[in-house]
Amino acid sequence: MNISTLQRSRYSYKPKMPGMLRKGISNIRAEEGEKVTSVSSDAEIRKLFPHTYGMREVTFSEGKSNAEKKKHVVGVILSGGQAPGGHNVIAGLYDALHEAGQDNVLLGFKGGPSGLTDDSYITLTGEIIDAYRNTGGFDMIGSGRTKLETEEQFRKVAEVAEKHEMTAIVIIGGDDSNTNAAVLAEYFKEHKVPVQVIGCPKTIDGDLKNDDIEASFGFDTATKTYSELIGNIMRDANSAKKYWHFIKLMGRSASHIALECSLQTHPNVCLISEEVEKNRMSLSQITDYIADSIIRRAALGMNFGVVVIPEGLIEFIPEMRKLIEELNDTLAEKGQQFAELSSWDEKTGFLSAELSPESMDVFDILPIDIQQQLLMDRDPHGNVQVSMIETEKLLATLVGRRLKELKAEGKYSGKFKSMSHFFGYEGRAAFPSNFDADYCYSLGYTAFLLIQNGYTGYMSIIRSLDEGVDKWTAGGMPITKMMNMERRGGAMKPVIRKALVDLDGGPFRYLEKHRDKWSSATCFRYPGAIQYYGPEELCDATTITLALEREARTGK
């Protein structure tokens, strides 16, 4: 196999760990804090999780271990979309497991949660682990999006666990996957299945975040990767001086990626979905907002610029959300009738009779390719596949139309040419930054400490991430603390609460303070590629989001 020089070098990188974790398994003890309650819907969560609710926070510190010594057989899965650093979670888990006992076993279940139900696995050896240390992707064992949520699935997992004499399962995933981890832990407790369940917080979107999870792993690497690409486009735009680039970034439920990348690169326009929703901005208002920057820059002789757009923006625009809801309801009820219509005129005529006049007005102003994207095959839940809607092209088209109108009115005399980009998969499997390599390794190591000390239904937690690694602390938090009740699929269900961009938080306030200047002036920043070797201030820097959150919290 051809191995690049960087790849070979990354295999040998030794992740930095909090000083306490470097003491060795036998010299780390668990200390329990206060019992915790859920962030919301306390009574409902307590009722649904009678065996795993109200458990105590756990912190690990230096001291003789009080853990029971026994053989451990641990299963691990990667769940959901890729995020840089997943392999290091497994490596940290493996190293801690074998430090505790050479006869301990780590089973990697293939293809995500379905690997657990189908008993599809490999025994992870040192040779396998060494081939994936500090690398991106999830290709060691693969991933999947199957949800563990039915009694039949739980029963199958219990059977597989019994077959392999497993003592614990580690689920590496996002908010939905870790919600499933909490439900599985509760099921095992209720049915007296002697298997622990531990979660690790993964998602590049940054929305698995709360008082205990300061950052989900992968966010650091992904945003640095996207920021490099945006900076490259900015340099090109500043050289050619003739294109406006509309760049959509991953992040359907929250705008953390768009915000961090904008803090890194200083685009002329950065849309934040949460702000759009709060201010109830219409498509027309968003169009005018972008056009205003273009007009101001054209007056200065600069007919180029960059607009950053979060992937999920379309669902945060009130009029678009209403349109999408009506389309979902209409096609759920009369989808077969709609599918039998052959011409586009027949289809639009059908919609005119089914949609409200307000929603039909919105539909009519959309470019035909966007209209067609709204009507393409639904997702498994029967909803519009919002991630397939090319919002960047939609806004570029609407802005182009508006500028033509203004030019006809003599209010704009510049030139407008646009290019559209979507950065998503480019960042999900990149070589993890030093931060993510270190963070993930510590998460995996801590996951085993929780197992060794007999905990279940907990999330592996590393705190003080805005400090140097030596100051990081390790512990565990009951997953039920992070949960609330939300409507999913027409019913109220317990889920880990997603974190949206805090419009009163330090990162957004910084954007708000500077964006007017960025809108007209060329203030582009060019972050360049992720650096793995060199001065710590260059290679181990955290995200600007973490730095600004610390500044807002501490004043430093």
Catalytic positions are 205
The C-alpha atoms of residue 187 and residue 69 are separated, in whole angstroms, by: 25
Question: How many whole angstroms separate alpha carbon 180 and alpha carbon 49?
Answer: 12
3-state secondary structure of 432: coil
Token pair 């500077």 is found at 514
β-strands 73-78, 168-173: how paired? parallel
Question: How distant, in Å, are the alpha carbons of 28, 31, 60, 61, 482 from that of 473?
Answer: 12, 12, 8, 8, 19
Residue pair 35/55 in contact (Cβ under 8 Å)? The answer is: yes
- Residue in the block written with tokens 């934040």: 272
With a CB cutoff of 8 Å and minimum separation 6, the contacts of 253 are: 205, 207, 312, 498, 500
State the DSSP code for 389: S
Nearest in space to 439 (alpha carbons), one of 459, 410, 408, 461: 461
Eight-class DSSP state of 156 = H
Closest CA to 476 of 496, 490, 498, 457: 457
User: For 24-69, what is the HEC assignment?
Assistant: CHHHEEEEEEEECCCCCCHHHHHHHCCCCCCCEEEEEEECCCCCCC
Q: List, as one string, the DSSP characters of 332-378.
A: HHHHHHHHT--SHHHHHHHHHHHS-HHHHHHHHHS-HHHHHHHTS--
Q: How far is CA 344 from the centre of its chain?
A: 37
Number of alpha helices (DSSP H) and beta strands (DSSP E) in the chain: 22, 15
Q: Crossing angle, helix 434-452 and helix 219-240, to 10 degrees?
A: 170
Residue 290 has phi, psi (to 5 degrees) of: -70, -45
Residues paired with 477 in a beta bridge: 459
Identify which of 359, 329, 425, 373 has the alpha carbon closest to the alpha carbon of residue 137.
425
Rounded distance between C-alpha atoms, residue 474 and residue 462, angstroms: 5
**Whole-angstrom distance, CA of residue 307 vs CA of residue 420:** 10
Pairing relationship of beta strands 244-249 and 418-423 according to DSSP bridges:
parallel
Rg (CA), the chain: 25
**Whole-angstrom distance, CA of residue 522 vs CA of residue 519:** 8
